[in-house]
Homo-oligomer: A and B are copies of this chain.
Amino acid sequence: MANSPTGDSVLARIVRVLDSFEDGAPLTASQVARRADLPVATAHRLAVALVSHGLLERAPDGRLRVGVRLWELAARAPRALGLREAAMPFMEDVHAATRQHVQLSVLEGDDVLFIERLSARNAVINLVTVGGRIPAHASSSGLVMLAFAPPGRQEEVLARPMRPYTAATIIDPNRLRRELAEVRRVGYAVTGGHVHRDATGIAVPVHGSGNAVVAALAVVVPSADAQPRQHVSALLAAARGISRTLGAALPTPSAERLSSPHAPAPG
């Protein structure tokens, strides 16, 4: 054995190490070794290297945890903090108007990845955390993004087995296909109790500079709420604002003639 008999690259191992901090709790080097399936010596050496670059940190008790430096590097992800930056003011508007959980998410793999959340102190149970995932088929945000995704992408998700969270979760490909068509028709998605029986999600699409749907904006209300659709207009207004900020050409009569500094390619 030598330079990795298992055949994985340094990079793959680094990702595995970082990935072993699933819950954000500090770990010892040996714990990391076990979780990342690495020899102790290797895990230790990698950990020391990662600490020296700040991607990991030593907690006061000497254990390892994810470092802020990593977060700082990741803060430049256009689809994460960049998107968030554009969306925050509008999310605050929705939050003020509805006093419910407001969530911003993107599609990552087969899952919805939550980028930002404004939570209502005394609203429904909280289902997701920032940085957390939920399978796309189960959440309103996921349905919206799938509905407006390229057909190929949709079929990828439909082809895989879908995990039910509650009795209401859609797990049948054909039902989901019909649901997506309906979402495309009305322009938003409502999922009552698909993730948790007491929570209903309402989501609308957010468009990026190429006019493709790049994110979803959603509110989560108690399933007891008689009129979940009352929030749609606030969501649509906010999503429109975000899309405009992102440089989307909105479906307005007269086209805009912006002198965009980049993107020399034709529209």
A residues within 8 Å of B by Cβ?
Answer: 9-12, 14-15, 18-19, 21-26, 46, 49-50, 53-55, 57, 59-61, 65-82, 84-85, 88-89, 92, 106, 108, 113, 115, 118-119, 121, 129-131, 133, 210, 212, 262-263, 265
Complex CA distance for A232 and B227, rounded to whole angstroms: 41
The answer to whether A119 and B14 have CB atoms under 8 Å apart is: no
Q: Which B residues are in CB contact (< 8 Å) with A82?
A: 24
Question: Which secondary structure dominates chain A's binding surface?
Answer: mixed
Shortest Cβ distance from A263 into B: residue: B61
B65 near A108 with CB under 8 A, answer no
Contact of A73 among B18, B49, B129, B212 (CB under 8 A): B18
Do residues B12 and A11 form an inter-chain contact, with CB atoms below 8 A? no
Q: Which of B23, B57, B78 contacts A66 (CB 8 A)?
A: B78
Check A130–B81 contact: CB distance below 8 A.
Answer: yes
Verify B15–A75 contact, CB threshold 8 A.
no
Does B88 contact A53, Cβ atoms closer than 8 Å? no
Interchain CB contact under 8 A, B57 and A79: yes
Contact yes or no, B129 A85, CB < 8 A: yes
- A-B CB contact pairs (8 Å), 5 listed: A23-B76, A24-B82, A65-B79, A66-B74, A74-B74
Q: Distance in Å from the Cβ of A258 to the closest Cβ of chain B?
A: 17
| A72, B108: Cβ atoms closer than 8 Å | yes
B76 touches A24 (CB 8 A): yes
Give the number of times this chain occurs in the complex, counting copies: 2
Distance, CA A115 to CA B59, complexed state (A): 18
Q: How far is the CA of A33 from the CA of B242 in the complex (A)?
A: 33
Q: In the complex, are the beta carbons of B66 and A77 less than 8 A apart? A: yes
Shortest C-beta distance, A65 to chain B (Å), equals 5
Q: Are B11 and A72 in touch, CB under 8 angstroms?
A: no
**Given A68-B79, A68-B115, A70-B74, 4 more contacts at CB 8 Å?**
A11-B53, A66-B80, A68-B113, A71-B74
Q: Using CB atoms, name the residue of chain B closest to A117.
A: B88
Asked if A15 and B89 sit within 8 Å, CB to CB, the answer is no
Query: In this complex, what residue of B is CB-closest to A25?
Result: B262
**Closest Cβ–Cβ distance, residue A119 to chain B (whole Å):** 7
Least distance between A88 CB and chain B CB atoms (Å): 7
A66 CB contacts on chain B under 8 angstroms: 73-74, 76-78, 80
- Report how far A115 CA is from B77 CA in the complex, Å: 15
Q: Give chain B nearest CB distance to A152 CB in angstroms.
A: 15
**A129: B residues at CB distance < 8 A:** 85
Partner of A71, one of B11, B77, B263: B77
Minimum CB distance partner of A133 in chain B? B72
Decide yes or no: A15 and B74 within 8 Å by CB, A68-B79, A81-B131, A210-B60 being known contacts. Answer: no
